[in-house]
Amino acid sequence: MSLSVGAVLIAAAVSTHAATPGHGLLARSVIERGLAKAECPIAPKDARIVGSEWLGRRLRIVQVTCRRGAGAHDSILFAVPVHRPRRGRLIAIQDWRDGHAVSGYRVVSPGYDRKTRTMNSIRDARSAGDCGTIKEWQWTGWSFRLIHVWRKPVCDGERFDWERRADWQVYPVRRLSTGP
């Protein structure tokens, strides 16, 4: 999937399910606890539900703003049982930092594929789209487990997108074939 198509699909999914806190998707008290645990810099009164999608038969993923930036927004995600907004829980998200998988809660501009139960995040290092990081996670039933990271650190004018990401895979580490 190309970045532009992915971004359109993400925006469509988010706008289809967008709501503000208090519309029954997630209790305000749960949002406030999640913001504190994830150490989000946004004031609780400014946090908004920016999207939701089905995780399973009776479980929704609800995306809440954590930080707003010029090019991307950090979000935190909650698993919320249908009709039980006070039972929502902050979802742990494995992340890639400094060459290691670490546990965290924030994700940049996520996109979720309901069929494959995978989530992706694309962070451009600059607006030209020729460098940055693409991450992909798998829903485990409890959290999102990191399954791939592609990173292109050099902004050289060559496009870096979903179709051309293979050369920049950093996780899992690809082993070179030694031949037959």
pLDDT in tens, 49-99: 999 999 888 999 999 999 987 666 899 999 999 889 999 999 999 998 888
Q: Which of 131, 158, 152 is nearest to 71 (CA)?
A: 131
Measured CA to CA, the distance from residue 118 to residue 112 in angstroms comes to: 6
CA atoms within 13 A on the CB side of 132: 23
133-169 confidence digits (pLDDT tens): 899 999 998 899 999 999 999 898 888 877 778 888 9
pLDDT at 8: 34
Collapsing DSSP to helix, strand or coil, 164 comes out as: helix
Residues in Cβ contact with 70 at an 8 Å cutoff, skipping those fewer than 6 apart = none
Q: Which of 117, 158, 154, 115 is nearest to 136 (CA)?
A: 117
Query: Residue 131's pLDDT band (boundaries 50, 70, 90)?
Result: confident
pLDDT at 69: 74
* pLDDT at residue 44 is higher than 60: yes
pTM more than 0.85: no
Tell me how far the alpha carbon of residue 122 is from its chain's centroid: 8
Encode 147-174: b = buried (16+ Cβ within 10 Å), e = exposed: ebbbbbeeeeeeebbbeebeebeebeee
* pLDDT at residue 11 is higher than 90: no
pLDDT at 100: 87
pLDDT at 106: 95
Mean pLDDT of 103-111: 93
Q: Which of 96, 51, 106 is nearest to 74 (CA)?
A: 106
Lookup: tokens for 150: 């592609």
